[in-house]
Amino acid sequence: MADQASPDMVPGLIEAYRGVVYPRHLDHMDHMNVQYYVEKFDEGVWHLFAAIGLTPDYMRKENRGMAAVEMNIRYLQELHAGDLIAVRAGITRVGEKSLHMVQEMWNPATNEMAALWRAVAVHLDREARRGTPFPPEAAARAREMQIDYPEG
């Protein structure tokens, strides 16, 4: 898409995932199936959580988790077997118990955005199965990393 920004145009996004499309990721039309876009975005978002201190160790020790409550993906370019993938992620809003996030999936070989993911996740007390406030350090780090991301 000629009107797309290159991966370095939105300041504050962090690299969250790198990978490749394998033949097993393809659907009957020979492009990456939507379930694998979600899988790769899911893998990327855990790196974003870790960047603010919501690490796997923290989650296990404190019996916490993150639950997606809203997700939207725009598919912009098809990806095929052998295509490289780079995902950049950012936090667009920090609530007491929730994060609004964005991730861009790029094909580094073509410098084209393949998909745009937006989601809201809630910090969860896994025992009570309810939202719970972020630890102060994680909330502060999330606010430090918060970016302005264009709507649309």
pLDDT tens track for 88-116: 999 999 999 999 999 999 999 999 999 99
pLDDT of 17 above 50: yes
Residue 8, pLDDT score: 59
According to CATH, what is the number of the domain 14-145?
3.10.129.10
What's the mean pLDDT in 15-37?
Answer: 97
Strand, coil or helix: what is 119?
Answer: strand
Q: What is the number of helices (H) and of strands (E) in the chain?
A: 3, 6
* Confidence at residue 3, expressed as pLDDT on a 0 to 100 scale: 41
Average pLDDT over residues 42-70: 98
User: What's the token pair of residue 42?
Assistant: 């899911």
Other beta carbons less than 10 A from residue 111's beta carbon = 12
Local structure of residue 21 (DSSP, 8 states): -
Determine the pLDDT at residue 1.
37
User: What tokens does 137 get?
Assistant: 């350090």
